[in-house]
Amino acid sequence: MVLPDTPLYHSKTDAEFRIRMIHHIRSTFKDLLGPNDLKLLDLPNGLDQLQARVQQMLFDTSRGEIDLRRPEVRQLAA
């Protein structure tokens, strides 16, 4: 895989990458995500929770046409 030549992808550790990714999400998607969704990024599993939230938003907005949710979430919703 070819990664973009940006500082985000030149992290030396996973922790550094996580910090940079959270900063990128906060600055880039602050208008799309509400303050409550951005607060999820402060939690230890905040990236996972935000990903699930965005997947659910996409599912709801597309009226079920686009479903990127995990299979176990799909089964619970059925």
| Nearest partner of 49 among 76, 70, 28, 27, judged by Cα | 70
What is the rounded distance in angstroms from the CA atom of residue 22 to the CA atom of residue 37? Answer: 12
Instruction: Give the ranges where the chain is alpha helix by DSSP (H).
Output: 14-28, 35-39, 46-61, 71-77
Determine the pLDDT at residue 43: 93
Supply the DSSP string of 4-15, one letter for each residue: PSSGGG--SSHH
Residue of 11, 45, 53 whose CA lies nearest to 29 = 53
pLDDT of residue 2: 61
Query: Which of the 8 DSSP states describes residue 8?
Result: G
Tens digits of pLDDT across the chain (78 residues): 566 677 766 778 888 888 888 988 999 898 988 899 999 999 999 999 999 888 888 889 898 888 887 777 777 766
Tokens at residue 42, please? 């402060």
pLDDT value at residue 49: 92
pLDDT of residue 8: 66
